[in-house]
Structure 1
Amino acid sequence: MTIAQQDRTASAPHGFDVEVTSGLQRFSVQHGELTLTSVFQPIFSLSHMRAVGYEALLRAHDALDRAVSPLDIFGEAARLGDVLHVDRLAQTLHLENFKVLGAEREWLFLNIHPDALTDPYHAAALLANLRRLDLPPRRIVLEVLEQRAEDLERLADAVRQFRERGFLIALDDFGAGHSNVERIWQLNPDIVKLDRIMLSHAAHRADMATILPGLVALLHEAGKLVLIEGVETEHEAQMALSCNADFVQGFFFGRPNPGAVDAAHAVACIDELTERYRDQTEARERRNASRLAPYLRAFERAAERLAAGEPLDEVCWNFLALDHAARCFLLDARGKQAGRNVVLRADRAAHETRFLPLADAQGANWLRRPYFREAINAPERVHVTRPYLSINEALPCVTLSVATRVGEQTCVLCGDIDWVDEERF
C-alpha cells in the first residue's frame, strides 16, 4: 500500500476496511453479518463519446461469500425502520470508493431515498463527508428514487436546497411507479432517467418506438437532460441514439465494475454504433425517397393542372389512385380549407365513417400545420412533412403541399399519404 493509500485508509470513517486487489483499492464495511462494498456503472454521453459519470451501486455478501441482493437489504431495513441508517452507510461507502476511483471530472450518481433528503442529519452527514474527501457538491448527482414521499412539498423544498448548494438532481425511473410528469414539475430535476421498461416496450412495439423520441423532445422542452438506462442490446442502443437522448447507461456500454471505464473501448463502441446509425439512417432515407417518388410525380402533375385551371376533383385522380394516397384538399392563403376533402376510393370513405364528425373539413383552418406554413414560405415547391398523426383517422400520415397561383389567388394544394407500419423518416 502506498503512503497516499495509507493516508486515505487512516482518514476513512470508523469501521471501514480497505483491500487492494490488482492495484485497485476498495473500501468495504460490515452491516450485521454482511460485507458491503461498491461498484460503479458508467454513464456515457453519446455526443462526447465518453463516460461523464458513474452510478454507485451497492454489492453485498454474507459470511459464506454468497451474494445478497441490495433490494433484500433495503427491504429488511424498511421492515426494521432502519432505512435511513443503511442509506447513509451506503452513501458514505460509495463516496469513499469514488474518491479512489480516479475520476477527475465525472459525476457520481448517488441513489437516495426521498426521506433521506428531508432528514437534516442526513444532509449534514453528506456535506461533512464531501468536505472530508474534498469533493465539491457539483460532482454529485442525487438520484431521487421513485418511492412515494409522504410530504411532497417538503421533499421539493429539500431538493431546492440541495440544488442551491451545487448538487445536481436526477429523477430516477421516470415512467414507473410514482415518477411521472407531475413529479417533474414538482421536483424540477436537472436530469430525468427513463425507466428501462419504456425502452424495452419501444424495442418491441412500433407505437412505443414512435412515442420515445417525442417524450425525449418533451423533456428537452422542459429544460431537462435525458438519460436512458437499461440499454442492453445494440438495437436498444440504436433507439437511444435515434431519439436524441443525452446520456445512456446499460450493459451494452459498460457493466458495473469496481474500477473506472476503459476510455478507448468506450470511444470505439460509441463510434461503431454511430457509424452503423448513420448507415441505417441513409438507407432508410433512400427507401423513403423511393417510396415517395411516384406520389411526388403524381402530385406535381396535379399542381400543374390545378394552376392551369382544371378543377380539384379531376386533377387529383392519378395521385389518389396510388395505394396509400388518402385524400387531397385545397387551402387559401390564410390556411382555410376551400371545399371538402377529395377521396377517390369507396373503402376509404367507409373507413372514415368511424370519424364522421371530422369528415367535413370545408372551412377548417390548417394555419398551424407545418405543411401550410412551409408551402407559403417557399411557394412553387413541393414540401414533404415528417410522419405525424392525422386528425382525419388518427393514423400516421405524411402530407405533400405546394403553394401555387390559381387564377388571381394563392392556394396551397395538399395531399395526404398513409404512413402506417412504415419506418419513420
Structure 2
Amino acid sequence: MPKIEQLIIQNDFYHVFQPIYSFPGKRVLGYEALIRSKSNMVPDMLFQHAMEQNKLFEMDSFSILQAISTYFGTQRSSELRVLFINIFPSTLVSPLFIGFLETLAIQYEPYRTQIVFEINESIIEGVLWKSASFRDAIRMMRELNFLIAFDDVGEGTASFRNILDISPDFIKIDRFFSADLCTTEKKQKVVALFVEYCRDESGLILEGIENEEDLAVALSLGIKMGQGYLLGKPNPLT
C-alpha cells in the first residue's frame, strides 16, 4: 500500500476538469476538479488508502489547494468560470480546517465567490453532518463568501433536512437519476420534484448525462444545468 505522504512529496497527483453547462444555450457554467494519479491509482482507492492511513485531511486539503492553484493559475481572467471542488465531511470537522480555509481565503481572495465546495456524501461519514464542528465550518465558509454544493444527492446521506437546514448554493443530483431517465417515470417524478424545490432555492445540476434522449427529457422537466460525458469529458486545462 503506497504512503499518501510520499505520493504527495513525489508530486504523483494532478487534476482534470469536467465542464458543467447551463441551459438553454449550452453555456459553460464552470468546471469540476477531479484528482488523478500519475501511477494510475483509482481516485476512490486513493482516498480509501488515505483514510486507512489517517491521512484523509492531508490528502483532501492537498487536492483542494492543487485544484485551485491549477485552475486559477492557468485560466485567463476573461475565461474564468465557477470551480467545483470535492471535500469530505471529515475535512470540514478537522481542527485544522478553519486555519486552512482562512489561509485559502487570503491567497485566493479575488476568487472566493467562484469556488464551490462540493460536500462529498460518504455514508461512512454521514454522522459528521450533525456535529457542531461541521456546522461551524459551514458558517465560516459562508462568512468568507465561498459557495457550497451537496454532491450526489439521492445516493448518499444528504437528507431533505440537511438541504433545508444548510440551503446549499447548488444541489447535484446523483447520476443514478439521469441514467435511463427518458424511460423511467419514477425517476422523472423525482427529478421534477427537485426542479420545483430548487426553483427559488438552489442551483440544480443533473450529473451523469450520457445520451441525447435522457438530456432531452431532463430539459423538458426543467433542468437548467447538467454534467456528463455527453456534454464534456474531464480533461487537463489547456
Measured in 1, the distance between the counterparts of 2:25 and 2:159 equals 29
> Is the Cα contact below 8 Å between 1:112 and 1:142 reproduced in 2?
yes
If each structure's helix is expressed as a fraction of its own residues, which one has the higher value?
2
- How many residue pairs are counted as aligned between the two chains? 227
- Which residue of the partner structure matches residue 226 of structure 2? 248
Partners of 2:98 and 2:140 within 8 A in 1: no
Tell me, yes or no, if structure 1 residue 172 matches structure 2 residue 147: no
In the alignment, the residues of structure 2 paired with residue 247 and residue 37 of structure 1 have an alpha-carbon distance, to the nearest angstrom, of 26
CA displacement at 1:133 relative to structure 2: 4.4
Deviation of 1:130 (Å): 4.4
1:178 Cα deviation after fit: 0.7
Alignment match of 2:113 (pick from 98, 116, 138): 138
Distance apart, 1:103 and its partner CA = 5.1
Q: Following TM superposition, by how much is the alpha carbon of 1:242 offset from its aligned partner in structure 2, in angstroms?
A: 1.4
The 1-side partners of 2:137 and 2:103 are apart by 17
Structure 1 contact 114–149 (Cα < 8 Å) conserved:
no
- Determine the C-alpha separation between the residues in 1 that align with 2:136 and 2:107: 26
> Matched residues in 2 for 1:214 and 1:40: separation?
29
Whether 2:189 is the aligned partner of 1:215: answer no
Quote the RMSD (CA, aligned, Å): 2.2
Partner of 2:42: 69
TM-score, normalising length: structure 1: 0.50
In the TM superposition, what are the counterparts of 1:204-283 in structure 2 within 5 Å? Answer: 204-220=183-199, 223-259=201-237
The 1:103–1:235 alpha-carbon spacing in structure 2 relative to 1, beyond 3 Å, is farther
Partner in structure 2 of residue 82 of structure 1: 55
* 2:13 corresponds to which of 36, 48, 53: 36
Aligned to 1:240, the other structure's residue is in SS state helix
Letter of the 2:34 partner, please give it. L
> Which amino acid is the alignment partner of residue 233 of structure 1?
N
**1:97 aligned counterpart, secondary structure:** helix
Instruction: Kindly provide the CA deviation profile for residues 342-384 of structure 1, in whole angstroms up to 9, marking residues without a partner as x.
Output: xxxxxxxxxxxxxxxxxxxxxxxxxxxxxxxxxxxxxxxxxxx
> Which of the residues 102, 115, 120 maps onto 1:127?
102
| Aligned residues of 1:202 and 1:212 also touching (Cα < 8 A) | no
Q: Note closer, same or farther for the CA distance 1:34–1:138 as it changes in structure 2 (3 Å cut).
A: closer
- 8 Å contact from structure 1 (residues 74, 86) kept in 2: yes
Letter in 2 for 1:227: I
- Greater shift, 136-145 or 29-38, is seen at 29-38
Pick 1 or 2: higher relative contact order, CA cutoff 8 A, min separation 6.
2
Residues 101 and 44 (structure 1), Cα distance of their counterparts in 2 relative to 1, 3 Å cut:
farther
Larger radius of gyration: 1
Identity %: 27
- Distance in 2, matches of 1:195 and 1:84, equals 24
Deviation at 1:171, TM superposition (A): 0.5
- The one-letter amino acid paired with 1:175 is G
Residue 123 to residue 257, structure 1, CA distance change in 2 (3 Å):
farther
Determine whether 1:46 maps to 2:46. no
Note the alpha carbon deviations across 1:63-98, whole angstroms, 9 max, x for none. xxxx21111010011111110010011111111111
- 1:157 & 1:134 partners in 2: Cα distance? 21
By how many angstroms is 1:34 displaced? 7.0
Residue of structure 2 in register with 1:109 after alignment: 84
In the alignment, the residues of structure 2 paired with residue 135 and residue 88 of structure 1 have an alpha-carbon distance, to the nearest angstrom, of 20
In structure 1, what is the equivalent of residue 73 of structure 2? 100
Q: Which runs of 5+ in 1 are unaligned?
A: 1-28, 261-425
Query: Is the CA contact (8 Å cut-off) linking 1:34 and 1:60 kept in structure 2?
Result: no
